Amino acid sequence: MTTILNPDQHEDAAQILREGGLVSVPTETVYGLAADATLDAAVAKIFAAKNRPTFNPLIAHVADLDMALKIGAFSDDARMIADTFWPGPLTIVVPTHADNGLSKLVSAGLETVAIRLPAHPLARAVIAALGHPIAAPSANPSGAISPTRVTHVMDGLGGRIDAILDGGDCGIGVESTIIGFLPDPVLLRPGGISKAMLEAALGREIADHQSSDPITAPGQMTSHYAPKGRVRLNVTAPEAHETFIGFGAVEGAHINLSPSGDLMEAAANLFEALHHCDRENVAHIAVSPIPMVGIGAAINDRLQRAAAPKP
Ligand code: TXA
Ligand code: MG
């Protein structure tokens, strides 16, 4: 059975984690599926509950910078980016410290570790109460759409995890940006913090991840975040059989991500729109063009994965 915990029960959430259980925890991006990152058996349960390939590494979420510095070796650039954008929707991949105390499953055998200091107060409260980093992928079955509401987590993983800590709806709605320092900066996943903001802070260009790079982001499989129906992108004239997800001032949208054309609002509504299509068993989805500005890059990235042919 999966218990729903109220926001004031973050100590109970930490206790379940301490005992090796799984708790879905709200973050400002999407709900995470957390385990104590130092416990092998608990981290292994994440892979089982999500049916996630074990070669796909997890993000270690920390409560403060000290916790991050204990597990990863930050170059000056990596440290500057952490100081500028944490807490927030940014994950930083750096070399691991050999004695970091984390389960080897977290990094899936890589010599790097992905670290995030979330801005969500409940996520930080749980990690601080536990006193260890939590490993937390998005709380959805592998390959499905990420959850931005408690009901999404319950629909996807109810009965397979111990608890969900209710933090309401997630504010940002797409997963964190991932930047790797390998050692040069590489954008591994677009997200809540735009590439332009990172480049402005670093004062130099950041390379884009090449899908041919073997190790860097095993999670960047082409079909990901996929709804059940077929998805057609950049549609201005939807066909009669299609459910139309609009953006801006468009006619005939069944759902509009943001009638006023606000990209932040669209990001926050994106996954609920796709979850809605799954709940209604929609077979054909058409989506308006979304500008490639700011968080629009992350929205387009997720939509392209949603539209990619399934394996
Ligand atoms: O916003 C987020 O980042 C959410 C919330 C819960 O924090 N988490 C999330 O986790 O999106 P997940 O597991 O769905 O995505 C993590 C991504 C995967 O694509 C994985 O391959 C990549 O991070 N990753 C993890 N460790 C890595 C590493 N050492 N090197 C490169 N990529 C890594
Ligand atoms: Mg995910």
pLDDT at 218: 45
Instruction: Round to whole Å and give the CA distance between 280 and 254.
Output: 12
Q: How far apart are CA 302 and CA 226, in angstroms?
A: 9
How many angstroms is it from 113 CA to the middle of ligand 1? 10
Six-digit token string for 12 = 């109970």
First-last CA distance in the chain: 32
Question: How high is the pLDDT of residue 124?
Answer: 98
Rg, Å, the chain Cα set: 19
Handedness of CA 251, 265, 208, 224 (dihedral sign): negative
The bridge status of strand 134-135 relative to strand 3-5 is unpaired
Ligand nearest to the CA of 114: 1
| Count of Cβ atoms closer than 10 Å to residue 292 Cβ | 12
Phi, psi of 189, rounded to the nearest 5 degrees: -155, 130
Return the ligand 1 atom nearest residue 112 CA. Answer: 29
User: Letter for the amino acid at 3?
Assistant: T
Number of H helices, E strands in the chain: 10, 15
Give me the helix-helix angle, 296-307 and 263-279, nearest 10°.
20
Per-residue pLDDT reduced to its tens digit, 248-258: 999 999 999 99
DSSP letter, residue 146: P
Tens of pLDDT, residue by residue, the chain (311 residues): 999 999 999 999 999 999 999 999 999 999 999 999 999 999 999 999 999 887 789 999 999 999 999 999 999 999 999 999 999 999 999 999 988 999 999 998 899 999 999 999 999 999 999 999 999 999 999 989 999 999 999 999 999 999 999 999 999 999 999 999 988 999 999 999 999 999 999 999 999 886 555 445 444 555 567 899 999 999 999 999 999 999 999 999 999 999 999 999 999 999 999 999 999 999 999 999 999 999 999 999 999 989 988 76
- The predicted pLDDT at position 265 comes to 97
Which residue is it, tokens 């990209």?
A: 263
What's the whole-model pTM score? 0.93
Phi and psi, residue 229, nearest 5°? -80, 170
Looking at the DSSP bridge assignments, the partners of residue 186 are 180, 207
Measured CA to CA, the distance from residue 118 to residue 103 in angstroms comes to: 20
Gap from CA of 28 to ligand 2 centroid (Å): 14
Query: Ligand 1 pocket test: which of 51, 94, 138 has the largest number of ligand atoms within 8 Å of its C-beta?
Result: 138
Both structure tokens of 38: 């130092």
Angle between the 10-18 and 121-130 helix axes, to the nearest 10 degrees?
40
Q: Cβ < 6 Å from ligand 1: which residues?
A: 27, 29-30, 32, 56-59, 91, 93, 107, 110, 112-114, 116, 136-138, 175-176, 178, 180, 188, 216-220
Three-class secondary structure of residue 281 per DSSP = coil
**Crossing angle of helices 263-279 and 150-157, rounded to 10°:** 40
Q: Check residue 13 and give its pLDDT.
A: 98
Distance CA(85)–CA(279), nearest Å, equals 36
DSSP per-residue string spanning 118-132: ---HHHHHHHHHHTS
- Give residue 311's pLDDT: 65
How far is CA 82 from its chain centroid?
18
Query: 212 CA to middle of ligand 1, Å?
Result: 18
For ligand 1, the distance from its centroid to the CA atom of residue 187, given in whole angstroms, is 12
For ligand 1, what atom is nearest to the CA of residue 139? 6
Q: What is the DSSP letter of 240?
A: T
